[in-house]
């Protein structure tokens, strides 16, 4: 089972989707702008790869946060609350492949896991 989470207009998500299609992988797509992410799902991701990996501190959403909001992200609970309130702060895409969580897209990472 493979599920890809992201937003369709993200360039990195587009690259991941193209790579998966070119390599004939079937996957379920979850647009988290249209379909809310559950607290349990984000907690699962955090448990599997860490909140530091999931919070995209390089992205536009993070940069637009006020300094107090940025400073308040200090642990898994505060990061989870931010990701639930502002899903665009999540680094994309998130791939769930049989319970293994991969955040971001690098062809070599996908190749080593999937091929």
Question: Which 3-state string (H, E, C) describes 43-74?
Answer: HHHHHHHCHHHHECCCCHHHHHCCHHHHHCCC
> Which of 4, 7, 10, 103 is labelled catalytic?
10
In the chain, where does DSSP find H-type helix? 11-22, 39-49, 51-54, 60-64, 67-71, 76-85, 107-114
The encoded tokens of residue 81 equal: 């609350």
Q: Is 10 a residue of the active site? A: yes
Active site residues: 10
């Amino acid at each position: 089972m493979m599920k890809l989470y992201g937003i369709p207009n993200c360039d990195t998500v587009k690259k991941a989707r193209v790579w998966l299609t070119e390599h004939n992988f079937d996957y379920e797509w979850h647009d988290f702008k249209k379909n809310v992410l559950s607290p349990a799902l984000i907690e699962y991701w955090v448990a599997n790869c860490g909140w530091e990996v999931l919070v995209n501190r390089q992205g536009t959403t993070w940069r637009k946060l006020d300094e107090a909001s940025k400073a308040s992200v200090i642990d898994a609970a505060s990061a989870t609350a931010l990701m639930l309130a502002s899903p665009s702060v999540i680094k994309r895409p998130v791939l769930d492949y049989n319970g293994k969580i991969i955040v971001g897209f690098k062809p070599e990472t996908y190749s080593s896991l999937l091929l």
